[in-house]
Amino acid sequence: MASVRTHDLGPPARPVAVAQELDDPALGKARGTVELPLRIRWSCPPLVYDLDDRGGRARVYEQVLREGTEKDVQFCIRLEKLADPFDELVLPPAVREAWAERLRRGR
């Protein structure tokens, strides 16, 4: 077992799923209330989030941007709704940088 954090393991080594296509009408989008799958919300009991509530949406966005696949991102994230709470989201630096760039390009 490693006793020192390296860039080979852990959050810095994870790929960041930045979906280029988020607004395609053919993509199904999460609405209303959602319960994130275990692969995204793996460390706690399941919770139901309200995507119409700014705070609930922010918690979903944090978890999906950190842990989700490109398909998860396409399903859950609405680019126009991400910009509002983005500066308040708790994200690893690599995720924040990648999505900040995506937000700049999307505007």
Task: Report the C-alpha gap between 72 and 17 in whole angstroms.
Answer: 9
pLDDT, tens digit, 9 for 90 and up, residues 79-104: 889 999 999 999 999 999 999 999 99
User: Would you say 31 and 56 are in contact if contact means Cβ atoms under 8 Å apart?
Assistant: no
Single-letter amino acid code for the residue at 4: V
Q: Which residues contact 80 (CB under 8 A, 6 or more apart)?
A: none
Phi, psi of 59 (to 5 degrees): -65, -40
pTM of the model: 0.83
Q: Which residue ranges in the chain fall short of pLDDT 70?
A: 1-13, 107
